[in-house]
């Protein structure tokens, strides 16, 4: 006897089919600058009639526009289609050092950014974010899309919109979604910062991501995290805690610590760790203030590029630890793409050879021959772009099939 509900979960209802088809068309629009209706039908496998109906709905919602005529080989030329360039989305990235709020267009390009020093109080930080969004909302009015994206460091439960465990000791069980929705009367989507960054890199950075099966994004700043996409879908883990790459231990010690153990990636690769390494090698006094460690690491990387011995040794030792971690990921996940987002990417010319020396060769691990290994193409903006475009990810995945445009709502 079949268990009730087992088969039904595998069957898509008509509204879900329409949402999936709509999402497929939007994803094509996202991948290409412009397409004709015939192009969309050919590449999506949908009938031209279905494409026409979907496009009409997307144009009514202000998501797609007609963008000039295509070359004709006879007969009436068709109209090209493109994502509506004026429509924008809002997002915020909460970091330890500062919080950034941004407006992005539908292609993941930042239009405007506002930033402030992150207060010690989570409630105060969220109040300031709400204030920035009210300013954006007034300025962009009908050109904006509904919903707001927010990303933060730590363990984030996307389903409930809660920061379960932040990077600050007292930032625990912070109801980000509930707080901001009460202040703004808008749907709020909350995600871990590294997962948001991974999604942005996969979606907006380059067309070479198409067809990549196991995409790993490593983000290094005040901490070390990882986002993984399998076949284009973010992996959250059963407890929303997947991606704690920083806790991977690559050097043994006698410590009984279970968190931030000596020899873990967090203690070896984070910006504070790199600053401490450089200070130790140079004999300088170890700085106790955290400050903007990203700026200090970028400076070390710039000096290393000039072949200054201590800075170069700092970067190369950091690269060796990173290489061991990446090698473990490639062996464990059979990853075909590794992208690194870090302040030390300024010295990628020194780092990349070290990484490849530690990776398995093609005869050792077959998949490694097709491995794509590169720095982030989003220039440190991946998490901010990811936050701002979280509402788009839901629309493009078909999870917001019944989107009501701001114009229609008014």
Q: Rounded to an integer, what distance in angstroms lies between the CA atom of residue 64 and that of residue 87? A: 9
Measure CA 342 to chain center. 14
Ranges of residues in the chain with a pLDDT under 70 are 1-12, 14-15, 68-78, 207, 210, 253-260, 285-291, 362-369, 398-410
* Assigned token pair, 252: 């043994």
Q: Which CATH class is domain 88-198+385-409?
A: alpha beta
Give the angle 302-308-311 at the CA atoms, nearest 5°: 65
| C-alpha distance from residue 266 to each of 63, 216, 222, 318 (Å) | 41, 17, 9, 12
Provide the pLDDT for residue 168.
Answer: 87
In sequence order, the 6+-apart residues with CB closer than 8 A to the CB of 397 are 23
Provide the pLDDT for residue 410.
Answer: 34
- Each residue's pLDDT tens digit, 269-284: 999 999 999 999 998 7
Own/partner pairs, 297-300, CB within 8 angstroms, 24+ separation: 297/271, 297/342, 297/343, 297/344, 298/343, 298/344, 298/346, 300/274, 300/275, 300/344
Q: Which CATH class is domain 11-83?
A: mainly alpha
Q: Which CATH class is domain 212-376?
A: alpha beta
Output Rg (C-alpha) for the chain, integer angstroms: 23
Give the angle 260-94-246 at the CA atoms, nearest 5°: 20
Largest Cα–Cα distance in the chain?
78
In this chain, the answer to whether the domains covering 11-83 and 212-376 adopt an identical fold is: no
Q: Rounded to an integer, what distance in angstroms lies between the CA atom of residue 18 and that of residue 26? A: 12
DSSP-derived 3-state class of residue 263: coil
Q: What are phi and psi of 50, to 5 degrees?
A: -65, -40
Q: Rounded to an integer, what distance in angstroms lies between the CA atom of residue 53 and that of residue 69? A: 19
| C-alpha distance from residue 176 to each of 118, 133, 154, 158, 408 (Å) | 15, 14, 13, 10, 28
Q: Rounded to an integer, what distance in angstroms lies between the CA atom of residue 284 and that of residue 24? A: 56
Provide the pLDDT for residue 197.
Answer: 96
Provide the pLDDT for residue 365.
Answer: 59
Q: Rounded to an integer, what distance in angstroms lies between the CA atom of residue 401 and that of residue 342? A: 35
* Assigned token pair, 338: 């590794």
Task: Kindly provide the residue ranges of all beta strands, DSSP E only, lying in 77-165, ordered along the sequence.
Answer: 79-83, 88-94, 98-105, 110-117, 144-152, 155-157, 162-165
- Each residue's pLDDT tens digit, 82-130: 888 889 999 999 998 899 999 999 989 999 999 999 999 999 999 999 9
**Domain parsing of the chain, residue ranges:** 11-83, 88-198+385-409, 212-376
Q: Any idea what DSSP says for residue 344?
A: G
Q: What are phi and psi of 325, to 5 degrees?
A: -65, -45
């Amino acid at each position: 006897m079949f268990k009730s509900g087992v088969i039904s979960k595998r069957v898509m209802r008509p509204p879900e089919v329409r949402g999936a088809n709509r999402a497929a068309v939007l994803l094509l629009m996202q991948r290409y600058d412009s397409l004709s209706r015939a192009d969309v039908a050919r590449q999506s496998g949908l009938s031209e009639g279905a494409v026409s109906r979907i496009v009409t709905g997307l144009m009514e919602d202000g998501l797609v526009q007609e963008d000039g005529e295509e070359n004709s080989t006879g007969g009436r030329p068709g109209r090209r289609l493109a994502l509506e360039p004026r429509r924008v989305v809002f997002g915020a990235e909460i970091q330890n050092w500062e919080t950034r709020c941004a407006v992005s267009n539908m292609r993941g390009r930042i239009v405007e950014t506002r930033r402030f020093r992150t207060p010690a109080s989570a409630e105060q930080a969220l109040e300031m974010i709400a204030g920035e969004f009210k300013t954006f909302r007034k300025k962009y009015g009908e050109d904006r899309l509904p919903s707001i994206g927010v990303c933060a460091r730590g363990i984030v439960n996307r389903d409930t919109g809660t920061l379960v465990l932040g990077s600050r000791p007292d930032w625990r069980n912070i109801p980000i979604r509930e707080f901001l929705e009460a202040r703004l009367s808008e749907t709020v989507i909350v995600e871990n910062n590294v997962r948001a960054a991974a999604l942005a890199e996969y979606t907006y950075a380059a067309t070479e991501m198409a067809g990549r099966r196991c995409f790993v994004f490593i983000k290094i700043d005040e901490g070390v995290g990882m986002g993984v996409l399998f076949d284009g879908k973010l992996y959250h883990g059963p407890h929303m805690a997947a991606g704690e790459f920083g806790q991977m231990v690559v050097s043994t010690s006698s410590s009984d610590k279970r968190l931030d153990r000596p020899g873990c990636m967090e203690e070896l690769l984070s910006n504070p760790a790199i600053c401490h390494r450089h200070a130790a090698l140079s004999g300088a006094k170890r700085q106790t203030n955290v400050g903007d460690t990203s700026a200090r690491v970028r400076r070390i990387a710039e000096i290393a590029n000039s072949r200054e011995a201590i800075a170069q040794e700092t970067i190369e030792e950091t690269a060796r630890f990173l290489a061991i971690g990446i090698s473990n990921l490639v062996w464990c996940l059979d990853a075909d793409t590794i992208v690194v987002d870090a302040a030390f990417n300024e010295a990628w010319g020194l780092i990349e050879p070290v990484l490849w020396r530690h990776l398995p060769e093609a005869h050792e691990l077959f998949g490694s021959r097709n491995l794509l290994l590169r720095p982030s193409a989003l220039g440190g903006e991946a998490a901010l772009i990811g936050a701002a475009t979280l509402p788009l990810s839901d629309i493009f995945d078909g999870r917001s099939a019944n989107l009501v445009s701001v114009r229609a709502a008014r």
